[in-house]
Structure 1
Amino acid sequence: MATDSLRPESLQGKLRQLQDYSACDVSDALLKLQKIKPGEVARAGFLADIGPIPPPQTHTETGQRIAAPASTLKLVPKQSPPEVAPPAENTVPKGSHWVDLTEAGTVVVIDQPEGQKCAAVGGIMAQRMKARGVAGCVVGGRVRDMAELRHSRLPIFALGKSTVGTNAESTVYARNVPVSITGVSVLPGDIVFCDPLEGVVVIPQDLLDETLSLMPKLVSADDKIKEAVAQGMTVAEAFKAFRS
């Protein structure tokens, strides 16, 4: 039997709470909560250099924040796919297309091999994901068909753009498997927080409750620091007073 924290209605409430915060607030919390191994650099869930594509047309067109569970897709080089096949339940059946299997209410996170110049997503893929009720798409690589992407109204975040179709370099390996986006691991079910102004942060699903609990305290402390600095206190003094 599902616990309250795993019930869909409970998760939706938590996702709505997240949208009251920025991606920076989320990373501040994860920086304190995540344990890193000696020698590792703390990433705090941040997917570096991933931004909204197409970019906003005006300075007032920023779009809405999105928070939803991840569903994942792993692409591999077309010319040298891995020798080990994925589990059968994670494959895309022969004669099917991965986009027709995307899940409503998720952010589709696509792991494209580093250095590829082709696009992982184009206009047709975006239209189909939107029709299936996908909340957004994050591509650790490139996208194309800028006018069609904008017309689809599907929030898309990526590293860059291309004019070349996926088939030039990539092939699908598996769906809903662990992936890595700019060095950050993303598991199916992790919470993807897309902030058009600040960037994309991934919250491990087992840290969602702690993140939501910690963020108000951190934001409150920062608000007090800002007020104190505006009143003439030094940053060093304010940090000591409100962050200690």
Structure 2
Amino acid sequence: MTSVKTDLQEKLRRLREYSACDVSDALLKLQKPKPGEVARAGYLADIGPQPTGNSTDTLQKVVAPACTLKLVSKNATPDSTPPAENAIPKGSHWVDLTEPGTIVVIDQPQGQMCAAVGGIMAQRMKIRGVAGCIVGGRVRDVAELRDTQLPIFALGKSTVGVGAEARAYARNVRVSITGVDVSPGDIIFCDPLEGVVVIPQGLLDETLSLISKLVTADDKVKEAVLGGMTVAEAFKTFRE
């Protein structure tokens, strides 16, 4: 088990050498959208660093496996009951079950105005050793979020607590963030400059293999264009 973890950490270290755009370039070639489906290449649209207003120059990339949380509307009756291993035990709080070294990915129902994460939740995740948090919805307690120094990415902010509209339904199940599926164990690539990209767990090795080739080709294109070559000619020479 230790060797497996060490191997994964080395792969994640190598990934951090690239940008989120590089990752999406690789996924665009590796993933095969269904007929009529728009290629998303893992990109979580409009998910950005929170709190806003900080210089992204001081923020670091965060790359780690996902653990997930699915919220549902407060008064909704889910279609099914989650398996026992995915349920939030009675008397427990989801934040106390978060896993060290992971990025917590929270699926909040679309259109809600409440905050799925606030200062207390962020503080607890930080103490638990969580690497970061992605919220497909809103956050609040901006000053407290900043104080925790936990990397948090979300759609926006709110002043309203989660209890107004939502409740926790299940953990470590497949969720959807801005239309992109995320499964537990998928690799979350948080780039404060470019955005957040999800690498399916089964495509990690292929992504690493392809991404280096694509970046090398693009470096040659840039060098050729700087030397006076047209983009069309450079693409034909180095990309095709």
Range class of TM-score, shorter chain: over 0.9
Residue 177 of structure 2 is matched in structure 1 by 181
Residue 111 of structure 1 is matched in structure 2 by 107
Rounded Cα–Cα distance in structure 2 between residues aligned with 1:15 and 1:173 = 30
Amino acid at match of 2:16: Q
52-61 or 166-175, which deviates more: 52-61
Residue 60 of structure 1 is matched in structure 2 by 57
Amino acid at match of 1:111: D
SS at match of 1:171: strand
SS at match of 1:90: coil
Residue 222 of structure 1 is matched in structure 2 by 218
Matched, 1:156 2:148: no
Structure 1 91/210 Cα, relative in aligned 2: closer, same or farther at 3 Å?
A: same
Residue 193 of structure 1 is matched in structure 2 by 189
1:101 CA drift (Å): 0.4
Residue 42 of structure 2 is matched in structure 1 by 45
Rounded Cα–Cα distance in structure 2 between residues aligned with 1:153 and 1:3 = 28
Root mean square deviation, CA, Å: 1.3
1:84 CA drift (Å): 1.2
SS at match of 1:57: coil
Residue 95 of structure 1 is matched in structure 2 by 91
Amino acid at match of 1:159: L
48-57 or 198-207, which deviates more: 48-57
Matched, 1:25 2:22: yes
Rounded Cα–Cα distance in structure 1 between residues aligned with 2:144 and 2:46 = 22
Residue 167 of structure 1 is matched in structure 2 by 163
Asked if structure 1 preserves the Cα contact closer than 8 Å seen for 2:56 and 2:192, the reply is: no
Counterpart pick for 2:74 among 72, 78, 86:
78
Rounded Cα–Cα distance in structure 2 between residues aligned with 1:87 and 1:141 = 25
* TM-score for the superposition, normalised by structure 1: 0.96
1:57 CA drift (Å): 2.2
1:80 CA drift (Å): 1.4
Unaligned 5+ segments in structure 2 are none
Rounded Cα–Cα distance in structure 1 between residues aligned with 2:27 and 2:157 = 30
Matched, 1:10 2:7: yes
Unaligned 5+ segments in structure 1 are none
Residue 229 of structure 2 is matched in structure 1 by 233
Identity in percent: 74
Q: For each residue in 1:123-156, what CA deviation from the matched residue of structure 2 results, as whole angstroms up to 9, or x when unmatched?
A: 0000000000000000000000000000000000
Rounded Cα–Cα distance in structure 2 between residues aligned with 1:80 and 1:108 = 23
Rounded Cα–Cα distance in structure 2 between residues aligned with 1:55 and 1:195 = 14
Counterpart pick for 1:203 among 199, 207, 225:
199
Asked if structure 1 preserves the Cα contact closer than 8 Å seen for 2:68 and 2:171, the reply is: yes
Asked if structure 1 preserves the Cα contact closer than 8 Å seen for 2:23 and 2:211, the reply is: yes
191-200 or 51-60, which deviates more: 51-60
Residue 121 of structure 1 is matched in structure 2 by 117
How many residue pairs end up in the alignment? 240
